[in-house]
Amino acid sequence: MRKIDPWLLVIVAIHAGVQLAFASFVPIYDGWKYAECVMDAAVTFSPSALNCFGHPSIAYTGLLALPQFLFPGSAVAFGLVATLLGAVAVVAVHGILVRVLGPTRRTEILLATACFAACPIVNANLTNPSPDAGVLVFFVLFLWALVSEHRRSALLCGVALVFSKESGAVLYLLSLVLWLALVEDRTGRSLRKLAVWSVPIFLLGGWYSARYLGGAPALWSDPRGLAVGQSLTLDVTKTYFRGFLVALFVIHFTWVASILVVAGAVLRFRQWRNERLELFFFALLVSAVFFLTRYETYAHPRYVLAIYPLLVIVFAVATVRLFSSRRLQLTLGLFALLWALSNFRTADPLSQSLYGTFPFGDHAMLKMTSIAQQRYGYGLDGLVYNFEFTHLDDLQSVLYAQVAPTPDTVLAVDYETNYQLAPRLDSRTFERTLRHTGSFEPLWMSVQDIEKLNGHLRDLWFVEIPTADTRASMAWLKANYILAEERVAERSGYRLRALHFVAP
- The count of C-alpha atoms lying within 13 angstroms of the C-alpha of 503, restricted to the half-sphere facing its C-beta, is 9
Answer yes or no: do 33 and 98 share one domain.
Answer: yes
The β-bridge partners of 359 are 364
Quick one: 335 and 439 in the same domain? no
Q: Are residues 331 and 427 in the same domain?
A: no
Residue 104 counted as domain residue:
yes
Domain membership of residue 208 (yes or no) is: yes
Number of C-beta neighbours around residue 480 at 10 A: 15
| 325 and 400, same domain (yes or no) | no
Same domain, 337 and 401: no
How many independent structural domains does the chain possess? 2
Backbone phi, psi, residue 495, to 5°: -140, 145
pLDDT value, residue 443: 95
Q: Is residue 366 part of a domain?
A: no
Q: Considering the domain boundaries, does residue 372 fall inside one?
A: no
The span from the CA of 101 to the CA of 109, in Å, is: 7
Are 258 and 393 contained in the same domain? no
Buried b (16+ CB within 10 A) or exposed e, 206-228: ebbeebeeeeeeeebeeeeeeee
Instruction: Write out the chain's pLDDT in tens, 504 residues.
Output: 468 899 999 999 999 999 999 999 999 999 999 999 999 999 999 999 999 999 999 999 999 999 999 999 999 999 999 999 999 999 999 999 999 999 999 999 999 999 999 999 999 999 999 999 999 999 999 999 999 999 999 999 999 999 999 999 999 999 999 999 999 876 656 778 888 899 999 999 999 898 878 777 656 655 555 455 557 888 999 999 999 999 999 999 999 999 999 998 887 666 666 688 999 999 999 999 999 999 999 999 999 999 999 999 999 999 998 888 888 999 999 999 999 999 999 999 999 999 999 999 999 999 999 999 998 999 999 999 999 999 999 999 999 999 999 999 999 999 999 888 889 999 999 999 999 999 999 999 999 999 988 878 999 999 999 999 999 999 999 999 999 999 999 999 999 999 999 998
Separation between Cα atoms, residue 429 and residue 93, nearest integer Å:
41
- Cα separation, 476 vs 459, in Å, equals 15
Query: What's the rounded Cα separation, in Å, for the pair 129 and 23?
Result: 12
Give pLDDT, residue 218: 58
Residue among 297, 380, 303, 368 at smallest CA distance from 29:
380
The answer as to whether 398 is a domain residue is yes
Residue 357 lies in a domain: no
Question: What domain range includes position 495?
Answer: 389-502
Q: Clarify whether residues 444 and 313 are in a common domain.
A: no
How many other C-beta atoms can be found within 10 angstroms of the C-beta atom of residue 454? 8
Last residue of a domain, one of 320, 342, 364: 342
Which of 374, 467, 352, 369 lies closest to 418, judged by CA? 467
Last residue of a domain, one of 303, 319, 342: 342
Is 244 among the domain residues?
yes
Tell whether 146 is covered by a domain: yes
